[in-house]
Copies of this chain bind each other. A is one copy, B any other.
Amino acid sequence: MAQASGVHVSTVSRTFSAPHLVNPETRTRVLAAAEDLGYRPNRAARALTTGRTHNLGLIVADIANPFFSHLIKGAQAHARTRDYHVFVADTDEDPSVEEELIQTLAKQVDGVLLCSPRLSNRVIEKLHEDVPFVVVNRRMKGMSNVLMDVGSGAREAIAHLVSLGHRRIALLAGPAGSWTSKEITEAARSVPGIDLTVLGPNSPTEHGGLALARPVASSGVTGVLAYNDLMAIGLVEGLTSLGVDVPGHVSVVGIDDIVAGRVSRPKLTTVAMPAEAAGRTAVDLLLQLVGAPVTPALATLATNLIIRDSTGPVRDALRGDP
């Protein structure tokens, strides 16, 4: 490449990384040769001296969860506009895989987006020494966070159930180690005047929800708030097949607002989470951390309740039923 354009390698290097330092004529010549040979600076080699790989790591519990795929999409699209690539990795909800992945990624990326981690705070803090982090969906002191205001969302959802006359309410918790799950639980507990049953922890999948149909049906609750839409959908499926009508006998609210919730019947009432925006915001915070270690920032994104058909007024026959 250098010889193809008749200049020293360092001039080629500068043509790409500091164009203003090279004579316009030379630059044109180098660029022409590059175009000709299909040459592109090798990012890995560049990373060796600059210490910047121009790659970001993104770790999620489950790529197939639509919430995460939208987050990824947002992060990826945004990163691309900043000339960054995103390494996506899926932990399969396994904390030890999560730890392993962070360690492996640490040296290959400039920063990591850790989404809905299942690891303990202690481990995350230790790993944080190796690489800049932005943690999504978990409050961590001393690091940049992107949070959804899921507490308000949960309270809003429960207020909605209460306004429909529901008093006996079940909360379907998410996986152990999930900050969001804890947050939702606390929010639900803080609502006065209801009789709350917390079920879980559970696998945050359709299957996890399905498995809860029987316990929910036999618990006598009339309203349910699920950790996420996938679980809510599974629960509705299970309840229906048990002959329990939704929302006739039981009202169900999910969280996330995934497509499946809009097309399932009854259409799912849910707390919408701004997944794409979260992805974009997280990339912003991370890049600003990568540039120069500034004070960690905290971004909180609003959620909002979308009322559809899976919630309805409590039936008189059931009101006060033990």
Contacts and interface: CB of A to CB of B under 8 A. Distances in A.
B87 A42 contact: no
A264 interface: yes
A70 B70 CA distance: 14
A233 B69 CA distance: 19
Contact of A63 (B40, B72, B89, B206): B72
Interface in A198-248: 206, 230, 233, 236-237
Contacts of A105: 85
A139 interface: no
A14 interface: no
A77 B92 contact: yes
Given A76-B90, A237-B263, A259-B260, A66 B63 contact: no
Contacts of A140: none
Interface stretch (A27-35, A43-51, A112-120): A43-51
Contacts of A45: 44, 48
A72 B201 CA distance: 27
A108 B264 CA distance: 42
Contacts of A63: 63, 69, 72-73, 76
Interface of A: 38, 40, 42-45, 47-48, 53, 62-64, 66, 69-70, 72-73, 76-77, 85-90, 92, 103-108, 130, 206, 230, 233, 236-237, 259-260, 263-265
Which among A47, A63, A92, A105 has the greatest number of chain B C-beta atoms within 10 A?
A: A63
B263 A104 contact: no
Q: Which residue among A40, A44, A106 has the maximum number of chain B CB atoms within 10 Å of its CB?
A: A44
Contacts of A73: 62-64, 90
Nearest to A58: B88
A107 B66 contact: no
Contacts of A70: 64
Contacts of A85: 87, 89, 104-105, 108
A263 B209 CA distance: 13
B260 A103 contact: no
Contact of A88 (B88, B92, B233): B88
B263 A38 contact: no
Contact of A47 (B44, B64, B66, B106): B44
Given A40-B103, A87-B87, 8 more contacts: A43-B107, A44-B108, A63-B73, A76-B90, A85-B104, A259-B260, A264-B264, A265-B265
Nearest to A83: B104
A123 to B, nearest CB: 13
A13 to B, nearest CB: 15
A266 to B, nearest CB: 8
Of A64, A206, A265, most buried by chain B (CB within 10 Å of CB) is: A64
